[in-house]
Structure 1
């Protein structure tokens, strides 16, 4: 069930600044909101080499207390990304199915 927009917006305002994480929430529910948002950086149905995943996650972590390896581990632990043989792919999170205008 999706979170109310006001709760999601509050989490974004609190933990994201200028497109980067400022810090990582201690509460799992807030962390999940952020992780789902970050997982949307990866196109569903596509496999990504680890180096490409790291570039995306380093950009999210620039200036943050969180490092990209920890972020990657959280994404896998929450089953938003999966990995095998050095490749990663998106396995969870929200996907916008509305056609782009």
Structure 2
């Protein structure tokens, strides 16, 4: 099942406002500091996190959790991991031991721009 995306990648003022709201959830060097209240903004945050995950190979549950822990100050990498799985951005084996980043090309524009911005800072 494909997740419903934000539907706000039209270059509108609403898209710009959403991008700025999401950017405020991150520090200047791209570290996630707070979880947004709006679900649409949460989805953009998850896409940003997805964009920073290694594209190739399989990772153990411990490796994915450790990676997610290094990118945020929320104290709950398990919720991020579950949300990524729920959006089909990350897949796991039935026993939950191995995770793989799903190859996707439909990244929302706001997430791509913010991911590029934070990646340029050398973080995430």
- TM-score between the two structures when normalised by the length of structure 1: 0.74
Give the superposed CA RMSD. Answer: 2.4
Structure with greater proportional strand content: 1
**1:16 is paired with a residue of what secondary structure?**
coil
2:34 paired residue number: 23
> Structure 1 7/52 Cα, relative in aligned 2: closer, same or farther at 3 Å?
farther
Q: How does 1:28-47 map to 2 (within 5 A)?
A: 28-47=39-58
1:6 paired residue number: 16
**2:99 is paired with a residue of what secondary structure?**
strand
Cα distance per residue 1:43-67 (max 9 Å; x no partner): 3342111121112110122x32x51
**2:54 is paired with a residue of what secondary structure?**
coil
Distance 2:48 2:59 in 1: 18
1:58 paired residue number: 69
- TM-score between the two structures when normalised by the length of structure 2: 0.62
How far the C-alpha of 1:28 sits from its partner, in A, is 1.3
Q: Count residues with an aligned counterpart.
A: 93
Distance 1:71 1:38 in 2: 9
Which protein, 1 or 2, shows the higher relative CO under an 8 Å CA cutoff with sep ≥ 6?
Answer: 2
Gapped regions of structure 1 (runs ≥ 5): 97-101
Q: 1:72 and 2:94 equivalent?
A: no
How far the C-alpha of 1:2 sits from its partner, in A, is 7.0
Gapped regions of structure 2 (runs ≥ 5): 1-6, 113-124
